[in-house]
Structure 1
Amino acid sequence: MTKTSNRTNWFDQGGRSYALFRPEYPPELAARLAELTPSRGRALDVGCGTGQLTVQLAEHFNEVIGLDPSAEQVENATRHPRVTYLRSAAEDIPLGDHGADLIAAAQAAHWFDRPAFYAQARRLAVPDAIIALISYGVLHLDDNALNDRFAKFYRDEIGPFWPAERKLVDGGYADIEFPFDELPAPSLAIQRDWELGEFLGYISTWSAVRRAVDAGQDGILTDFVRDLSDLWGDDRHAHRVTWPINMRIGRI
């Protein structure tokens, strides 16, 4: 068996790893959001990162604008002929009033000053527009031993390095204030079949991992890679990884 941990430092991947390894949303998500909107003119993806959801929305809307405060994220975003990317904070969006049929924020709203973002959403929305806060929860691996070792890493070892906002994600955004006429959310999940290197590449994108490295706690990561490599078997074998999708959907 080839030991991935002996030949690659998976926790020093650089900014491009976010675009390479972040899981993609199922196409049903964009389709279901589009079904709720008053028209298919313009969608906004606020805190778009590298555009995982942005380009999927472009299959359903005439125009999609992805907004993110990080120049690095915008530079690495996936291109699409109906998508425009802008560097912008969620709390001060440089667009005209009442032009958006959908205002979405995927895996981002826990970072926002939400009252300021909600004020922007009301300003930008057309009548009866949809606002959607989307997150994906803690992943589950298809093998019990792998999943148990991952759960220990997530909860006990890397857990102290997560920022406080992470609790909102773990709670499925249930504790986020949401002052809109709320609509029922569909039951959806993200599923990927990943080899060991792909799985560790995804872990490397976590802010908690970067904080652990900066704190000199590389041993936590080294031990996790070693244990996971031993449990994984052939590192080219693909295991199913599943994330539940959580949503708060409202009409403005």
Structure 2
Amino acid sequence: MQPLDRFSGHANLYAQYRIDYPAELYDFVLSFVENRQKAWDCATGNGQVAGALAAIFDQVEATDISETQLILAVKKPNINYQLSSAEQTPFANQTFDLITVAQALHWFDISAFHQEVRRVAKPGAVIAEWGYGLVLLGSDLDPILLDFYRNRIGPYWDPQRKYIDNAYATLPFPFADAQRAEFTARHAWSLDRFLNYLRTWSAVRQYIHENEEDPVNWLGEVLKPIWGDAERELQFPIFLRVGRV
């Protein structure tokens, strides 16, 4: 199966406007990791996870199917970026102490990816998979965003989006000592910053491609009288599962 690349066409937006993850998430994952020599961040995108891991691990390998994303990714001397699918990598057997994949698992052939994880992980290594659902803006704006999400651009989501909506509950996770956890990423954003984040959504990009108009412009006009000129605290609900290979 050919891997889906939904992000090369707007990699610059993605690098600027996608969220990073809270320290509490990394602390939780690292509490399971005994050795911190080598980590693999799969589907690294703009490298936000790889950059965080580089401060902790001796060496970080980061892969993605988007060459454009990798060109724009954060650069650190101990991060090695490579163009690679999740399901078939160039790594040697039993290489990694930690394997991470953030907001991308739903695009994979899950069984093939997990088979590759078992191959490249050291015995007892940790696998952590996470994602985040629909952002919370506040009780005054949440119904407007939900309507936009479900109805205005709802038909333009790929079928895989359902796995985000159910927090990966129906995706297999065949690893030992499996645990789930939830976190919240909080960001204070202006309306313009938020609208540019929405423009990184794959459904928005598909809507623009098919209709030759940006639906976010319409949403911005609806939100502006309520949002105003000030920054607003946004909450991104993160779901995570971690296990041992």
Partner of 1:163: 158
Q: Which residue of 2 aligns with 1:17?
A: 13
Q: Is contact 1:97–1:125 with CA below 8 Å preserved after alignment?
A: yes
Q: Secondary structure at the match of 2:31?
A: helix
The Cα shift of 1:133 comes to: 1.1
What secondary structure is seen at the aligned counterpart in 1 of 2:140?
A: helix
Work out the CA distance in 2 between the residues paired with 1:181 and 1:224.
Answer: 44
| Separation of aligned partners in 1, 2:185 and 2:212 | 30
The answer to whether the Cα contact below 8 Å between 1:47 and 1:67 also exists between their aligned partners in 2 is yes
Quick one: distance in 1 between partners of 2:44 and 2:58?
Answer: 18
Verify: 1:239 aligned to 2:243, yes or no.
Answer: no
Q: Which moved more, 1:71-80 or 1:30-39?
A: 30-39
Report matched runs for 1:24-103 at 5 Å: 24-103=20-99
Aligned residue for 2:180, secondary structure, equals coil
Contact 1:34 1:60 in 2 (8 A): no
Alignment-derived partner of residue 121 in structure 1: 117
Taking the aligned partners of 1:72 and 1:156, their CA distance within structure 2 comes to 31
- In the other structure, the counterpart of 2:140 is 145
2: distance between equivalents of 1:59 and 1:42? 12
Cα distance in 2, alignment partners of residues 219 and 114 from structure 1: 32
**2:107 alignment partner, one of 93, 107, 111:** 111
**Match runs of 1:192-211 below 5 Å:** 192-211=187-206
- Structure scoring higher RCO (CA < 8 A, sep ≥ 6) equals 1
Residue matched to 1:212: 207
Residues of 2 paired with 1:219 and 1:36: CA distance?
43
SS in 2 for 1:187: strand
CA contact (8 A) 1:158 1:208 kept: yes
What SS does the aligned partner of 1:29 have? Answer: helix
Tell me if structure 2 keeps the 8 A contact 1:30–1:60: no
TM-superposition CA deviations, 1:150-189 (whole Å, max 9, x none): 1111121111111000100111111111111243233311
Gaps (5+ residues) in structure 1? 1-12
Task: Identify which of 178, 184, 187 aligns with 1:189.
Answer: 184
Separation (CA, whole Å) in 2 of partners of 1:59 and 1:163: 34
- Separation in structure 1 between the aligned mates of residue 210 and residue 191 of structure 2, nearest angstrom: 25
Q: Aligned in 2, Cα 1:157/1:114: closer, same or farther, shift over 3 Å?
A: same
- Percent pairwise identity: 36
TM-score (normalizing by structure 1): 0.90
SS at match of 1:40: coil
Query: 1:137 touches 1:170 (CA, 8 Å); kept in 2?
Result: yes
SS in 2 for 1:185: strand
Of the structure 1 ranges 35-44 and 175-184, higher mean CA displacement relative to structure 2 is found in 175-184
Partner amino acid for 2:105?
A
The two structures, once aligned, show a CA RMSD in angstroms of 1.5
CA distance in 2 between counterparts of 1:135 and 1:64 reads: 20
Structure 2 unaligned runs (5+)? 1-8
- Specify the alignment match of 1:178 in structure 2: 173
Match of 1:222 in 2: 217
